[in-house]
Amino acid sequence: MVDTLSITLAQLNQSVGDIPGNARAMLAGRERARAAGVDLVVFPEMQLVGYPAEDLVLKPAFVARAAAELEAMAKVTADGGPAMLVGSIFVQDGALHNGIALLDGGKIAAIRLKHELPNYGTFDEVRLFQPGPLPEPVVFKGVMIGLPICEDVWHPDVCRHLADFGAELLICINGSPYEIDKDTLRIEGVARRRAADTGLPLAYLNRVGGQDELVFDGASFVVGTDGSVPVQLKDWEEQEVTTRWRRTAKGWVCEPGEVAQLAEHPEDIYCAMVLALRDYVDRNRFPGVVLGLSGGIDSAICAAIAADALGPDRVWSVMLPSRFTSQLSLDLATECATMIGCRYDTIPINPAVEAFDAMLAGSFADAEYDITEENVQSRIRCVTLMALSNKFGPMLLTTGNKSEMSVGYATIYGDMAGGYNPLKDAYKMTVFAISEWRNQHKPRIGLGPDGPVMPQAIITRPPSAELRPDQKDEDSLPPYPVLDKILLGLVEHEKSVDQLVSEGLDRDTVVRIERLLYVAEYKRRQAPPGVKLGTRNFGRDRRYPITNAFRSG
């Protein structure tokens, strides 16, 4: 039995499906810990296979490869160096489990299985895994360590069982995706409660990095039995921090260490967009991105996000003016690209618009000019940008925000088409907030310019699609502060029309927005992926039928 322990919390990124690559990264981390004389290195949930691996875990070859790699990692620990706690997938009694293995002394010394399987929001582990039994602690150097896994600490039973069984401290590995204010919830609403319930200190290790529509913020920490936070890791960055533990008359205590300052709002949202895009582009092996730069705020902030994610040299912005594009838009787009430092080209779409007008003249002879012709312009722009993507390889970014996507104020097969949308879960007022913030600050994970990234006039000018003369978004939509308030109620909080009217909103407006929200569902199903920011993003969280006759007002 020992009276001191050194435990490295390895807050790492991971690549889903790259089992050998993930193993190499963990072994490299262990080697650094070995040089420092560390006792134990802990890695995040399912670090070996990547999280969430979704239906990859149903492939027997995938499961077998993970098992073989884990055995190989275990043999490395025969050198007498640090033990490792590694999250992976396991098969026991013919059932598939999410679990954690203690690798020590050249073997898999213990395995513990996740008991509480989340089945809400972005999680559907119930369809993939079987729950493990209430776990017992593992014994390491004579110390009883409880190993709850992610969801296990969001409910009291597992931690109480571990404490009753003699656990002396808790180490919880996680794949907890970012949501606004979730770091506070993890500490205040979960970790401190479990520490108070059990009388045990808790080390909470979370992964960092993007995976399709999810992004993981890291922000790992240790909570003491008194609710203190002696160690706080950074958010949005990989980090390895060695925590020092000692046995006292009152139990195990983590000595004070690094306490990082976490990103505040709206920097956290901006960092989520940057990291998610970076990992999506790099892991799918795109050389960079291309996007339309219109002189409006949505495309400007997307270009800035891309530059901070990838570096300005991997961002290609294109102005695609029509006869309705104002000189102000041309000037602002040019200035924005210069401020960001990215490539900027201009490709007028008038020749293609005129060609389509001629092609459709016979069929449209007795019809007035309307939204159809507006949408043709948007689709021509998409065809042009996709041609650049196909010819030269950069992924096409779309730039529509959540407010527009909610009410269908976007052109299917036009400005909605592309490979990824950083703003998919960002309402228009959020777009304004992060644009103002980025013009005054640079995120610590950013690769873009140090100064402002767009002219202030882009932020202050009235939003417009510029698909007809003197067009403004508010010609057909409520002002964005009103629209976003309605959408927050309808989408994020599932409120009825009557509830929103009772809060002072106009009934006719709310009824109209609810109708637009429902009828645009078929468009959203065909939209590209984009990073999840809130609790009810379109796709993974909010799954509504396309064909839907229900209205609440």
> What CA–CA distance (Å, rounded) separates 272 from 442?
14
- Nearest 5 degrees, angle CA 274-CA 278-CA 284? 150
> What CA–CA distance (Å, rounded) separates 346 from 333?
10
Contact yes or no for 86/101 (Cβ under 8 A): yes
Both tokens of 213, joined, read 């529509």
Q: Where would I find the beta strands (DSSP E) of 115-238?
A: 138-140, 143-146, 169-174, 202-206, 208-211, 214-217, 221-223, 231-232
* Active-site annotation holder among 45, 69, 116, 267: 45
Active site residue 114: yes
Nearest one of 311, 315, 306, 322 to 273, comparing CA atoms: 306
> What CA–CA distance (Å, rounded) separates 500 from 511?
10
- Nearest 5 degrees, angle CA 383-CA 388-CA 391? 115
Distance of CA 96 to the CA centre of its chain: 26
Both tokens of 9, joined, read 């919390």
User: Which residues, 6+ apart, have CB-to-CB distance to 206 below 8 Å?
Assistant: 11, 44, 174, 175, 176, 186, 216, 217, 218, 219, 220
* Active-site annotation holder among 114, 234, 402, 442: 114
Beta sheet of 202-206, edge-to-edge order: 138-140, 143-146, 169-174, 202-206, 221-223, 231-232
As a whole number of Å, the CA-based R_g of the chain is 26
* Active-site annotation holder among 116, 150, 213, 254: 150
Both tokens of 74, joined, read 């275990």
> What CA–CA distance (Å, rounded) separates 485 from 428?
11
Active site residue 492: no
Report residue 543: phi and psi, to 5°.
-120, 90
Helix axes 267-283, 297-310, angle to 10 degrees: 60
Active site residue 75: no
Report residue 405: phi and psi, to 5°.
-65, -30
Catalytic residue list = 45, 114, 150
